[in-house]
Amino acid sequence: MSSYVIRKTPGDTAWFRHDRFGMFIHWGLYAMPARHEWIKTREQISEEKYDVYFKYFNPDLYDPREWARQAKAAGMKYVVLTSKHHEGFCMWDSQYTDYKCTNTPAGRDLVKEYVDAFRAEGLRIGFYYSLIDWHHPEYPIDKNHPRRNHPDAREMNKTRDMKKYAKYMRDQVTELLTNYGKIDILWFDFSYPGEPGSDDPLKMGKGKDDWEAEELIATARAIQPDIIIDNRTQIEQDLWTPEQYQPKEWVKDKDGNLVTWEACQTFSGSWGYYRDEQTWKSPEMLIQMLINTVSIGGNLLMNVGPTSRGFIDYRAEAALKTYADWMKYNDRSIYGCTMAEPELLALCPNGCKFTQSEDGKRLYIHLFEYPFQFLELPGFAGKVEYAQFLHDGSELLFQDKVEHFSEGKSQSDNLMVLRLPVVKPPMIVPVVELFLK
């Protein structure tokens, strides 16, 4: 069994660490301007102007069963949808606001259809819920708010009551966790500091006290006790969430304990659908990101931003297909795997990444660089019973304790040498599966 001790937390995280790979979905009114989900504040768009998106939002091509089929094929085992993003627009039929999808030409509860479709495909269900709300009349205007430079911002803030907004969040989280069956993940986003040294309300940030985060979390757990909750309320819960970067080692809490963690990443440079954004990650990057994450004990949540018509665009579809083609043959090195045991990890050759099955019996060598004819594994002699390519289950012959000649003298450094075909197999990252003795 894996020797790594992971900090215990209230939520049920065992399935999560086994499943490793999920789909993030950023979908809201911001798909209409189609130039980033922060567009309202980036361009300081007024409510009146932004309401045109509310007026015309009509995802007539919305088919969450198709989304779910693509996610499942890609090997994603769970999904997290933005039920409400920073714009404040609600993708479900909330009883606490009129700013919701059922009051647009969409005319339907988009969350309900999402939950039913992904659950039918066997994926676990998550909700992203924005703590930030640039539409709500009680939400105080601050440094990130679209109206931070409005001449009446200070006047408007005088009548805004953060406590009323915190109650609104508890009411909405109650709806989301009560009306849609078992929910596995609640993904709050996000707390942020104010301008250093400033006491100007318009330069302030917001954190756990503003959100009344303890009460918000307690509200969620009272309804769904096992739910996985992230750490972006500023109160550590079940999940640490490094974003848009690849940690180099297993994420730890402030006391140095290994934690359950999940890197979230975009296919391109935006979470929401961004028509003209061109920085799409290569197939190699996509596959290597997943392997890198699992090789240090983490999960990967890859994001799609569907169009306002309700379909996943061709670029995201192609990215999902990249995962589908690789995971179809190699998912055994991802699911139920984690960081290799320390004594093996120390032997990992350059250009390779290890993952190891939780039961310790199988080690996976991901060939990021494909060696010519041989892969030398110092320290592995006597450890391996059988070796094969994972993708096609074809045997790879190997020798132990081969005399290792260098600088004219022989040395046997407990070497195992795998023979590899000269031609790299048709896999973005070929994987060697070692059955350990």
Chain contacts with ligand GLC (rule: CB under 6 A): 26, 37-38, 189-190, 243, 264, 271
Tokens of 326: 């690789």
Q: How far is the CB of 25 from ligand GLC (least distance, A)?
A: 10
Q: How far is the CB of 287 from ligand GLC (least distance, A)?
A: 21
Alpha-carbon distance 265 to 279, whole Å?
13
Q: How far is the CB of 78 from ligand GLC (least distance, A)?
A: 15
38 or 240, CB closer to ligand GLC?
A: 38
280 or 370, CB closer to ligand GLC?
A: 280
Cα 115 from chain centroid (whole Å): 18
Q: How far is the CB of 38 from ligand GLC (least distance, A)?
A: 6
Q: How far is the CB of 321 from ligand GLC (least distance, A)?
A: 23
93 or 243, CB closer to ligand GLC?
A: 243
Q: How far is the CB of 368 from ligand GLC (least distance, A)?
A: 26
37 or 277, CB closer to ligand GLC?
A: 37
240 or 326, CB closer to ligand GLC?
A: 240
Q: How far is the CB of 302 from ligand GLC (least distance, A)?
A: 12
Q: How far is the CB of 264 from ligand GLC (least distance, A)?
A: 5
Q: How far is the CB of 86 from ligand GLC (least distance, A)?
A: 6
By residue count, the chain amounts to 437
